[in-house]
A and B are shown apart, each in its own frame.
Chain A
Amino acid sequence: MSARAVHVLFALLLLFSVGAQASHRLTLGVFAFRPKPVMLERYQPLADYLSERLGGTRVELEVLEQDELDEAVAALRVDLVMTNPSHYLELRSHNSLSGALATVVSAESGRAVSSLGGCIIVRAGRGDISSLRDLKGRRIAISGPRFLGGYQAQAFELMQAGVRVPEEVELLVSGRHDQVVEAVLEGRADAGFIRTGIIESLVAEGRLDASQLVVLNPQALAGYPYAVSTRLYPEWPFVALPHVDPQMVRRVSAALLGLEADHPAARAAGIAGFSPPLDYLPVETLARSLRLPPFDQAPAFSWRDVWSRYADFIVALGVVSALVVVLLVVIARRNRQLAQSVAALVEAQRALQHIAWHDALTGLPNRTLLADRLSQDMRRVRRSGAFLALAYIDLDGFKAVNDTHGHEVGDRLLVEIARRMRGVLRDVDTVARLGGDEFAAIFADLADAAASQPMIERLLATIAEPVPVDGLRLEVSGSIGVSYFPQDGEIEAEQLLRQADHAMYAAKLAGRNRCCVFAGDAAAQDMGTAAGGPPPASVV
Chain B
Amino acid sequence: MQRRAFLLRLAALGAASVTAGGCASGAPLTVGIHPWPGYEPLYLARAFGWLPEGVSLREGQAAGDSVAALRAGAVDAAALTLDEVLVARASGVRLTLVLVFDSSVGADVVMARSPIQRPADIAGRRVAVEHGAVGEIVLSKLLDAAGLRDSDVTVLELPPDRQLEAWRAGEIDVAIGYEPSSSLLGREGARRIFDSRSFPGIIFDVLAVRHDRLSGQRSRIDALLAGHFRALNHLRVNREDALRRIAAWRGLSFEETERSFAGLSLPDVAGNRSHFDPSGKRGILKAARELNALMLRTGRLSVADDLVELIDPSFLPRSAGLG
Contact = CB atoms under 8 A, between A and B. Distances in A.
Interface of A: 113-115, 117, 160, 219-224, 231-234, 278-279, 281-282, 285, 311-312, 315-316, 319
B240 A222 contact: no
Given A232-B240, A281-B322, 10 more contacts: A220-B249, A222-B246, A222-B247, A222-B257, A232-B244, A233-B241, A282-B237, A285-B322, A285-B323, A312-B16
A219 B240 CA distance: 13
A279 B244 contact: no
A288 B237 CA distance: 16
Contacts of A231: 238, 241
B10 interface: yes
A57 to B, nearest CB: 33
Given A222-B257, A315-B10, A319-B10, A160 B244 contact: no
Contacts of B322: 281, 285
B247 A223 contact: yes
Given A160-B49, A285-B323, A221 B241 contact: yes
B118 interface: no
A222 B6 contact: no
Interface in B226-276: 234, 237-238, 240-241, 244-249, 252-255, 257
Contact of B245 (A113, A221, A234, A316): A221
A277 B55 CA distance: 37
Contacts of A117: 241
Interface of B: 6, 9-10, 12-13, 16, 49, 234, 237-238, 240-241, 244-249, 252-255, 257, 322-323
Given A222-B257, A232-B240, A279-B237, A311 B9 contact: yes
B254 A316 contact: no
Given A220-B245, A222-B248, A319 B240 contact: no
B220 to A, nearest CB: 17
Contacts of A316: 13
Nearest to A282: B238
A223 B244 contact: yes
8 contacts: A114-B240, A221-B248, A222-B244, A222-B257, A231-B241, A233-B241, A279-B237, A312-B9
A93 B246 CA distance: 34
A89 to B, nearest CB: 14
Given A285-B322, A315-B9, A221 B244 contact: yes
Nearest to B254: A223
A80 to B, nearest CB: 24
A233 B245 contact: no
Contact of B254 (A160, A219, A222, A285): A222
Scoring B234, B240, B252, B257 by chain A CB atoms within 10 A of each residue's CB, the highest score goes to B240
A497 B34 CA distance: 109
Nearest to B251: A222
Contact of B252 (A222, A224, A232, A279): A222
A232 B255 CA distance: 17
Contacts of B323: 285
